Structure 1
């Protein structure tokens, strides 16, 4: 047989191997996220790539990993296309994720091929968790990019967030597939194979048992009936909502929605973020109309508005009592860099004491992408968090799921109303009680549902990011350990 034919066959085999690996892993990551929500695929996605990493050449592994991770994590690029946020921001972020992921895959490969040790799977899991955690502390996007959010509908798993935060979920999502890969790699060594799989699977089983227990034990919080409304609004209408005539029209429509929802039995009515833009010097009467609607219907009303006050612009949410009183005004703390540069950020929590019904809190849209103020509300014993939001239609579930997961972390129910996204009501276990799209451009979106409130004060809110720091420490210790192992072999 001619030598060039042998090489040609070998090249084709390697090329097919490369393409299949990239397609399997990247597709699994991509379709586990966003609108698809095939959460099981997140657990399977790393396996083809990690198996390939232990038998292919260095250059092929680097190439496969970069392509896989970039394509797999690219959901946000398409979700935020044609929004006010430049797509280049998400391309850059996805590229950084791909580089870190590839570096960790190569580190995993190096450690496993140089050391036959059961702890190799922990280096990938702790490394990625440490990266997610550290980047969340400094990124303007907060925790949004975490793979933990792909597990929103995997209720037994996400309960661990009430102890570890989302970092415990991210850790498991890399630990389990890495251990399966190593067990397969060590399959001819029964003792080592068993050691490799035993601890990760034990951690997974304990997590599932805890999740099952938490889902089984009923919450003791009071039940409250919540209504939400979002009227259709184009971008042009959004820009003109500060004009007196347009603002009056919008408020009138929302007052009508309040009337409808209160007649249907709602005790609290939540409206989206920035429904109108007001100057408090000459448009206070529009706020008074919302207060009067609350008083007339004997309901609590929470509404998000842009307000100009004392030469400063705020993205605020007003809390009107059933007596028509303004209980509090909360100012958004985490502002969107590309559209809210003129706004002044708030610094304090917005908590309303509801007596027998506990304490209610307010956050606004992007606030939920960060661990604060969410954790502060839990530490204060808030039972139910109201979140006026905006969103961009294509990111509806991508963004709503972050707030829902915060409720699991902090042990409170979450009511979230987005202008161009979803109206959602979820309990402190992450159960979505009811959900309605508010992105329609013709009809008012109305939602009504009953929710049992949480108790706040989760173990995670008390201990803080202990698991994130633990992941950083474990990763550093493993690097030191395996480097010493390599030196001893020389």
Structure 2
């Protein structure tokens, strides 16, 4: 048995990592097992990422284990491994959403950037928060939440890929909590969730000794209690009116879709590529698309006669040739006039000249007039590959007896600046035709709950191949229909008739996110100053150092 060497031992430390000068440098080190922390944190991170099978509570818990792990390892070891855990959760999300292999090369680098930004929040906790603990435990707990919000906001701001990755979306079903979004946007919800994890991690480092952790735990508990109480008050006292209007969302049946698909196969346009449709026999193409459009028109007639005052079609389920567009609009205009209803048509529009393919929504009023023709402003990367031209991004609105109406199309709703336009134009009801896919059917619908809270308007989101929902201005789901569990998807909702509810967030925008960005920079600067000051002190600032932990 070899004699012990200095590499096997180090000075023991207290719970904050402060070296005990009274102990011998030859005292054996206690090497705590840390691998289980990483494994638990990684597993919870996979469950926490917003997906069809996410678990809301996991979003509160997973950072605790990963931050604790990083704090017990040297930075050069802990930070990359935590980054790898975040990468695992991202890959799991891409796989669950059927995006891991069925994407172009643009998506993977974008989500790699998101992974790096999120990992930087954990790096900030390891490198910044631990240096601030000796100065202020409360300040140190703020490092992770402000850094995480900064990462989420920078992703939205710089990558222009929507606001994916925001932790707050996982809390979409927590009605009192998500009311905070009416002031801070989704970023405030992310902050509250991340701050909880940071406080628990700090308390863990202090051995959960109540006299030591009491003040900071009570500060967080008080803030959380106020947020939940304010959310409950908002739900109770700003509840929607009892005056409602009947709204219907309709989609074509599986039989109609199969009939159209078979006809497109025979016409030589199985995938509906713009160039193939333009080159095909236009009569055959029109006949191939007809089963879906005919059924949607029949469903429009049925629901209008049943009393629906607004009818919403799904995104691009209907395919329409430019030469057939006017006839379709005229047919629906007759229904709208006869039944005194608004119909928001949505379809893929094929032309023989550029742009050959457009993704549009057309609102027909009870006068039979066309109130808007809106082109999707943010085509997905897959749509861009198909040649769909983006619109100008000017969100249309129109007055109606049930409040101002507006529309965006599916992925547009992931861009806060577009949804803020609708609020700025006092829209009370936003119509959102959508088209999702298996593995992704819930995500957009769940994100829409926070959009409504942020901007104070109701939404009708009718999705082909996804979850259709009607949501009021406080994020309550009024109606829901799942494309994959029903043959003929029709969603009926009684939606409150009222003006848009003004929100702080719609007025001030992302001020909270900018404040977090500034706070992250300030805390990093303060930690740097603390480190320089520690190096100048005779004892080398040992109180700010973490213990050396072996593998």
TM-score by length of 1: 0.89
CA shift digits 1:337-394 (9 cap, x unpaired): 3323441423322112013x22011110111000122111112211111000111221
Q: Is it true that 1:448 corresponds to 2:492 in the alignment? A: yes
How far 1:135 sits from its partner (Å)?
1.4
Q: Which runs of 5 or more structure 1 residues have no equivalent in the other structure? A: 8-12
Of residues 84, 88, 104, the one that matches 1:67 is 84
1:214 is paired with a residue whose SS is helix
- Is 1:183–1:194's contact at 8 Å kept on the other side of the alignment? no
1:143 is paired with a residue whose SS is coil
The range that moved more, 263-272 or 146-155, is 263-272
Counterpart of 2:248 in structure 1 is 227
How far 1:334 sits from its partner (Å)?
1.3
1:168-317 matches, cutoff 5 A: 168-187=188-207, 192-217=212-237, 218-220=239-241, 222-231=243-252, 232=254, 233=257, 236=261, 239-240=271-272, 243-281=285-323, 283-307=325-349, 311-312=354-355, 313-317=357-361
The range that moved more, 366-375 or 345-354, is 345-354
Counterpart of 1:326 in structure 2 is 370
Counterpart of 1:338 in structure 2 is 382
- Is 1:270–1:303's contact at 8 Å kept on the other side of the alignment? yes
2:69 is paired with a residue whose SS is helix
Counterpart of 1:10 in structure 2 is none
- Is 2:293–2:319's contact at 8 Å kept on the other side of the alignment? no
Q: Within 1, Cα distance between the matches of 2:67 and 2:430? A: 41
CA shift digits 1:175-210 (9 cap, x unpaired): 111011112222477665234324333322221111
1:265 is paired with a residue whose SS is coil
How far 1:157 sits from its partner (Å)?
1.0
Residues 362 and 112 (structure 1), Cα distance of their counterparts in 2 relative to 1, 3 Å cut: closer
Residues 349 and 87 (structure 1), Cα distance of their counterparts in 2 relative to 1, 3 Å cut: closer
Q: Within 1, Cα distance between the matches of 2:104 and 2:86? A: 18
Q: Within 2, Cα distance between the matches of 1:249 and 1:296? A: 24
Q: Within 2, Cα distance between the matches of 1:3 and 1:81? A: 56
Counterpart of 1:125 in structure 2 is 145
- Is 2:428–2:457's contact at 8 Å kept on the other side of the alignment? yes
The range that moved more, 227-236 or 30-39, is 227-236
How far 1:113 sits from its partner (Å)?
3.7
CA shift digits 1:314-335 (9 cap, x unpaired): 3211111233322222221112
Q: Within 2, Cα distance between the matches of 1:198 and 1:171? A: 17
Residues 64 and 372 (structure 1), Cα distance of their counterparts in 2 relative to 1, 3 Å cut: same
CA shift digits 1:196-248 (9 cap, x unpaired): 32433332222111111111122248422111111133695683496211233
- Is 2:121–2:151's contact at 8 Å kept on the other side of the alignment? no
How far 1:65 sits from its partner (Å)?
0.6
Rg comparison, structure with higher value: 2
Q: Is it true that 1:348 corresponds to 2:363 in the alignment? A: no
For the aligned residue pairs, the C-alpha RMSD in angstroms reads 2.8
TM-score by length of 2: 0.80
Q: Within 2, Cα distance between the matches of 1:276 and 1:384? A: 23
1:396 is paired with a residue whose SS is coil
Counterpart of 1:24 in structure 2 is 40
Residues 17 and 83 (structure 1), Cα distance of their counterparts in 2 relative to 1, 3 Å cut: closer
How far 1:83 sits from its partner (Å)?
8.7
Counterpart of 2:451 in structure 1 is 406
1:45 is paired with a residue whose SS is helix
- Is 1:332–1:364's contact at 8 Å kept on the other side of the alignment? yes
Residues 381 and 3 (structure 1), Cα distance of their counterparts in 2 relative to 1, 3 Å cut: farther
1:372-387 matches, cutoff 5 A: 372-387=417-432
CA shift digits 1:381-419 (9 cap, x unpaired): 111110001112211111222222211110111100111
- Is 1:425–1:435's contact at 8 Å kept on the other side of the alignment? yes
Q: Is it true that 1:143 corresponds to 2:163 in the alignment? A: yes
Question: How many residue pairs get matched?
Answer: 480
Of residues 456, 475, 485, the one that matches 1:430 is 475
The range that moved more, 231-240 or 376-385, is 231-240
1:74 is paired with a residue whose SS is helix
Q: Which runs of 5 or more structure 2 residues have no equivalent in the other structure? A: 9-29, 265-269, 278-284, 536-551
- Is 1:76–1:90's contact at 8 Å kept on the other side of the alignment? no
- Is 1:227–1:270's contact at 8 Å kept on the other side of the alignment? yes
Counterpart of 2:116 in structure 1 is 99
Counterpart of 2:462 in structure 1 is 417
- Is 2:337–2:368's contact at 8 Å kept on the other side of the alignment? yes
How far 1:90 sits from its partner (Å)?
4.9
- Is 1:333–1:367's contact at 8 Å kept on the other side of the alignment? yes
How far 1:74 sits from its partner (Å)?
3.2
Q: Within 1, Cα distance between the matches of 2:74 and 2:101? A: 42
Counterpart of 2:267 in structure 1 is none
1:28-39 matches, cutoff 5 A: 28-32=44-48, 33-39=50-56
2:428 is paired with a residue whose SS is strand
